[in-house]
Amino acid sequence: MVEKILANLKKSNCMTDNTFLQAVSEVLNSLEPIINSDSRYEQFAILERLVIPDRVIQFKVQWLDDQNRVQINNGYRIQFNNSLGPYKGGLRFHPSVTTGVLKFLAFEQIFKNSLTGLPIGGAKGGSDFDPKGKSDFEIIRFCRAFMRELYPYIGARVDVPAGDIGVGSREIGYLFGEYKRITHQYDGVLSGKPYAFGGSLMRPQATGYGVVYFAREMLAQELQESLEGKVCTVSGAGNVAIHTIEKLQQLGAIVVTCSDSDGAIYDPNGIDLDRVRELKEGGKRLSLAEYSHQVPGSIYTPKSEYPNEAHAIWQIPCFAAFPCATQNELTLNDAKKLIENGCIAVVEGANMPTTPEAIELFQREGVLFSPGKASNAGGVAVSEFEMSQNASMEKWDFDKVDRKLDELMRQIYKRVSLTAKEYGVERNFVNGANIAAFKRVAEAMILEGF
Ligand code: NDP
pLDDT digits (tens, 9 = 90+) for 356-410: 999 999 999 999 999 999 999 999 999 999 999 999 999 999 999 999 999 999 9
Residues linked to residue 235 through DSSP beta bridges, in sequence order = none
The pLDDT score that the predictor gives to residue 1 is 80
CA 337 to chain centroid:
25
Residue 99 phi/psi, 5-degree rounding, is: -60, -40
Indicate the average pLDDT of the chain.
Answer: 95
Q: Report how far residue 109's alpha carbon sits from residue 89's, in angstroms, rounded to the nearest whole number.
A: 7
Nearest CA to ligand 1 atom 2: 165
Residue 348 phi/psi, 5-degree rounding, is: -80, 130
Domains 2-187 and 206-366 share a fold: yes
Q: Which atom of ligand 1 is nearest to the CA of 237?
A: 9
Q: Looking at the predicted structure, is the pLDDT value of residue 144 above 80?
A: yes
Fold for the domain defined by 206-366: Rossmann fold (3.40.50)
The pLDDT score that the predictor gives to residue 17 is 61
Ordered by start, the domain boundaries in the chain are: 2-187, 206-366
Q: Report how far residue 220's alpha carbon sits from residue 344's, in angstroms, rounded to the nearest whole number.
A: 13
pLDDT tens column, 258-293:
999 999 999 999 999 999 999 998 777 799 999 999
Nearest CA to ligand 1 atom 7: 325
Q: Looking at the predicted structure, is the pLDDT value of residue 308 above 80?
A: no
The pLDDT score that the predictor gives to residue 172 is 97
pTM of the model: 0.94
CATH number of 2-187: 3.40.50.10860
Q: Which atom of ligand 1 is nearest to the CA of 260?
A: 11
CA 275 → CA 163, 294, 304, distances in Å?
Answer: 23, 8, 24
The CA-CA-CA angle for residues 202, 177, 98, to 5°, reads: 80
Is the minimum distance from the CB of 348 to ligand 1 under 6 angstroms?
A: no
Amino acid, single-letter form, for residue 425: V
Q: Are 267 and 257 in contact (CB under 8 A)?
A: yes
- Residue 203: CB atoms within 10 A of its CB come to 25
